[in-house]
Amino acid sequence: MTGRFRPTVGVLALQGDVREHLHALEAVGVRALPVRRPPELAACDGLVIPGGESTTMSKLAVAFELLEPLRDRVKTGMPAFGTCAGMILLADRVTDGRPDQETVGGLDVTVRRNAFGRQVDSFETDLDVVGLAEPVHAVFIRAPWVEQAGADVEVLARVAVGPAAGRIVAVRQGRLMATAFHPEVGGDTRLHEMFAGVVRTG
């Protein structure tokens, strides 16, 4: 692929901060496309799975006939970036999930839902992220964390302070990335740029 390649990156548009992700992706030079149906997914070179409520999102993905196509695309190498609930949907294993919890899978991690607590326990903090020179100001809203990461999973960030210090909140495995926080909030597009680089390099 040449430097002129401008990929199309979809945002799963079933719930969550869809518009904010679309704007961030456009800002880093990719075509951004809301995805609600299989033909829209088929047009994408990569996909962002935003925050929301993970069980509701998986049920909507089934209703829109997207869950199996999502699994197939991820399994066959499509780059994907999950944020907050999107991290849960990309995880192979979920702790404290509902009995009907389904995931797309692909990331060899165990994720705990609502690990930091309820909406009132939402917080912000600065994180050092592997590959970025300056810290990222991270917003956590009913966020998960990674309890266990497989040998092929690169830990990109951990919480540095407070009762959750040391908890894993950003990971990468091959063409898959995930954060427990919301990088689309606040105008810092560096993580979207990092993901766009994954998509561009195939």
Active site residue ranges: 84, 182, 184
Q: Is the dihedral of CA 58, 173, 139, 144 positive or negative?
A: positive
Three-state DSSP class for residue 132: coil
Q: In a 10 Å sphere around its CB, with 0-12 CB exposed, 13-18 middle and 19+ buried, how is residue 176 labelled?
A: buried
Whose CA is closest to 137, among 98, 76, 73, 189? 189
**Partners of 49 in beta bridges:** 82
